[in-house]
Amino acid sequence: MCGFLLLMAKLGMAGQEPTARTEDTRTTETLEDRFWSHFKNIPLGPGRLSIGGSVRFRYEWQNHYNAKSYGERTRDGFLLGRTRLNFDYVLRESLRAFIELQDARVWGSDFDIEDFQGRSPDENPLDLRQAFLEWKHIGNSPWGFKLGRQTISYADNRIWGPGEWGNVGSFFWDAAKIQYDTRSLLVEALYARRVLHESEAWNFDEKHFDFDAYGLYATLKNVPFHPEWFYVEKRGDAARGKLLPIEHEIRRTLAMRVSGRFLNHFDYAGTLAGQFGSWGGYSIRAWGMHAGLGYTFDHPWKPRLGADFSYGSGDRSPNDRTINTFDGVFGARDTLYGRLNLFGWSNIEDYQLSLALQPADGLETRLDYHYFRLAAARDSWYISPGSTLRRDSTGDSGRALGHEVDLTARYRINKRTSLIGIVGMFLPGSYIERTGPHRSAFGACLQVMYEF
């Protein structure tokens, strides 16, 4: 399969016509494009069928951390492979049926499927990832729907996101969505159940997590800035930490996000979210936020300096009847809180600085620095909602989690083939040093992806 990727990349470059230096050859039609065009817009009955997909391989090396621990004397190197094949049948411009199959595998890891109770985040042989019917602007009206298995993604994926970096993928849903879409307004209402994937071939992943999700999303179009509103409600049984019982939880999240540009060079984004509800006999009162500001210089390399701050509240008084720990809703965390994926949007303060450069056509580089602190010293260190690594209930270990530096390089060989390389290092702070193993962590990966 790796040989196939290299062959397709060479075929794409070999088929390019000679061009001037200023022309981006990655957008020129190639022999490769003409080959794949035979699989697009195939007449079939009353509609047209397009076949597409992707093949992705990524080698990862992890030192002193892994999916289950931090700071131990561990080292693991493994190869991840993911193949997707989709069938997009369009009856008319706004009516389509879509099916996507996914095969996710891992080779050489120290973990096997049983280490994850049959639900490995890296392994799920051939199975159904998406299967939905979508109809927009029914009868030229603003109304539409999307029904079936699907991914859900809004804005920067902080509240709703599919978690694409993971080999299997963090979130996919059996959902029903109603849409109202005009030139100035988009509103979507949905009901969803999160699919509980099992690392077995072709079992259709019929099980679900033990909760129901309801959502509303709205945004205005054609305004100087981009405002977005969210309402998410989660109802079901949930545990809080490893030692507490499972109780019925109703958690509601109200959020707003704004983003845009000003003075030609500045960009900004901000999210504010509040949560309320109940867990068993406890009440929920929590909040989270993100604020980011960037400046892009006039230079051929398009250098951008950025500063971000993310906050998810923690529980300062664990023994009272109010839960103040913010839940990261259903958001992706792969690119938001450090590339080593040691932290989530719960009980966290994340101070971030970044520098991005585009030194050549198709090449993007980015350097990120994070300083992490607990929002509440007596609450846990969370890597995702409800999933913790450590806790000092006395608060005596302080709040300093540590520093992370990540270097990311992305190169698009042509419009179908891309490379990503990432190197990251985490240096522990006083909280981690006082609560357990505290070796510095180092991770690296190299990924190649081919899309057709």
Q: What is the pTM of this model?
A: 0.90
Domains of the chain: total: 1
Domain residues for the domain of 255 are 48-451
Asked if the structure places residue 110 within a domain, the reply is: yes
CATH code, 149: 2.40.160.100
- Sequence-distant (≥ 6) Cβ neighbours of residue 151 within 8 angstroms: 130, 162, 169, 171, 172, 173
Percentage of the chain modeled with pLDDT above 70: 93
Whether 408 is covered by a domain: the verdict is: yes
27 located within any domain: no
Token readout for 449 is: 């992806």
Which pLDDT belongs to residue 25? 47
Task: Output the pLDDT for position 6.
Answer: 42
SS (H, E, C) 23-73: CCHHHCCCHHHHHHHCCCCEEECCEEEEEEEEEEEEEEEEEEECCCCEEEE
Stretches where the chain sits below pLDDT 50 are 1-25
CA-closest candidate to residue 65, choices 445, 394, 437: 437
Give the pLDDT score at 318: 83
Residue 26 lies in a domain: no
In a domain, 302, yes or no: yes
pLDDT at 243: 52
- Would you say residue 2 lies in a domain? no
Please check whether residue 146 lies inside any domain of the structure.
yes
Q: How many CA atoms lie within 13 A of 245 on its CB side?
A: 6
pLDDT at 17: 37
Q: Is residue 40 part of a domain?
A: no
